[in-house]
Amino acid sequence: MLKVLILLTILGSIAAHLKDHASQIYIGCALSPSHFSDSQYQSIAAAEFNSLTPENEMKWDAVEASQGSVNYAQADQLVQFGKQNGMKIRGHTLVWHSQVPGWVSGLSGDTLHQTMISHITDEVTHFKGSIYAWDVVNEMFNEDGTYRQSLWYNNFQTNFVGDAFKAAAAADPGAKLYINDYNIEGINAKSTGLYNLVKELKGQGVPIHGVGFQAHLSTGQVPSDLAANLQRFTALGLDVAITELDIKQNGQSQEAQAQAYASVVNACTSTSGCVGVTIWGFNDQYSWINDNPCPWDSNYQAKPAVAAIEGALK
Ligand code: G3I
Write the DSSP string, 261-277. Answer: HHHHHHHHHTSTTEEEE
What pLDDT is stored for residue 15 in this prediction? Answer: 65
Residue 120 has pLDDT above 90, yes or no: yes
68 phi and psi angles, rounded to 5 deg: 90, -15
CATH architecture of the region 23-313: Alpha-Beta Barrel (3.20)
Asked whether 137 and 164 are in contact (CB, 8 A), the reply is yes
Mean pLDDT of the region 188-193: 98
Which has the closest alpha carbon to 308: 216, 219, 184? Answer: 219
pLDDT tens profile 234-275? 999 999 999 999 999 999 999 999 999 999 999 999 999 999
Which has the closest alpha carbon to 59: 112, 119, 117? Answer: 119
Residue 109 has pLDDT above 80, yes or no: yes
Q: Indicate which residue's Cα is closest to atom 42 of ligand 1.
A: 288
Residue 33 has pLDDT above 60, yes or no: yes
Which has the closest alpha carbon to 279: 72, 25, 16? Answer: 25
Q: How many Cβ atoms sit within 10 Å of the Cβ of residue 270? A: 13
Chain mean pLDDT for the chain = 96
Query: To test ligand 1's pocket by mutation, which of 31, 36, 52, 55 has the most ligand atoms within 8 angstroms of CB?
Result: 55
Mean pLDDT of the region 82-110: 98
What pLDDT is stored for residue 175 in this prediction? Answer: 98
The span from the CA of 209 to the CA of 202, in Å, is 9
Distance in Å, CA 106 to ligand 1 centroid: 21
| Of 70 and 3, the one with more pLDDT | 70
What pLDDT is stored for residue 298 in this prediction? Answer: 97
Asked whether 133 and 141 are in contact (CB, 8 A), the reply is no
Distance in Å, CA 56 to ligand 1 centroid: 6
Residue 8 has pLDDT above 80, yes or no: no
Question: Active-site residue 310, yes or no?
Answer: no
Residue 128 has pLDDT above 90, yes or no: yes
What pLDDT is stored for residue 14 in this prediction? Answer: 52
What pLDDT is stored for residue 3 in this prediction? Answer: 58
Q: How many Cβ atoms sit within 10 Å of the Cβ of residue 15? A: 9
- Strand segments, DSSP code E, in the chain are 26-31, 51-54, 88-96, 133-138, 176-181, 210-213, 216-218, 239-248, 274-279
Which has the closest alpha carbon to 70: 18, 121, 137? Answer: 121
The span from the CA of 260 to the CA of 254, in Å, is 10
Contacts of 134 (CB under 8 A, 6+ apart): 90, 91, 92, 93, 94, 124, 168, 172, 175, 176, 177, 178
| DSSP at 173 | T
pLDDT tens profile 149-161? 999 999 999 999 9
What pLDDT is stored for residue 304 in this prediction? Answer: 98
End-to-end Cα separation, the chain, in angstroms? 27
The span from the CA of 297 to the CA of 150, in Å, is 36
What pLDDT is stored for residue 16 in this prediction? Answer: 87
Residue 289 has pLDDT above 80, yes or no: yes
Rg (CA), the chain: 20
Mean pLDDT of the region 7-23: 70
Report how far apart, in Å, the C-alpha atoms of 4 and of each of 16, 17, 227 are. Answer: 18, 22, 42
Distance in Å, CA 13 to ligand 1 centroid: 36
The catalytically annotated residue of 57, 139, 185, 244 is 244
Residue 119 has pLDDT above 50, yes or no: yes
Asked whether 152 and 104 are in contact (CB, 8 A), the reply is no
Which has the closest alpha carbon to 51: 138, 137, 131, 126? Answer: 131
Residue 11 has pLDDT above 70, yes or no: no
Distance in Å, CA 101 to ligand 1 centroid: 13
Residue 5 has pLDDT above 70, yes or no: no
The span from the CA of 313 to the CA of 252, in Å, is 23
| % of the chain exceeding 70 in pLDDT | 95
The span from the CA of 91 to the CA of 84, in Å, is 17
The span from the CA of 20 to the CA of 310, in Å, is 9
Task: Name residues contacting ligand 1 (CB within 6 A).
Answer: 55-56, 98-99, 182, 214, 244, 288
Residue 113 has pLDDT above 60, yes or no: yes
What pLDDT is stored for residue 12 in this prediction? Answer: 47
Asked whether 230 and 267 are in contact (CB, 8 A), the reply is yes
Query: To test ligand 1's pocket by mutation, which of 56, 182, 243, 291 has the most ligand atoms within 8 angstroms of CB?
Result: 56
Residue 205 has pLDDT above 60, yes or no: yes
Closest ligand 1 atom to 288 CA: 32
Report how far apart, in Å, the C-alpha atoms of 153 and of each of 70, 142, 168, 209, 260 are. Answer: 25, 12, 19, 22, 35
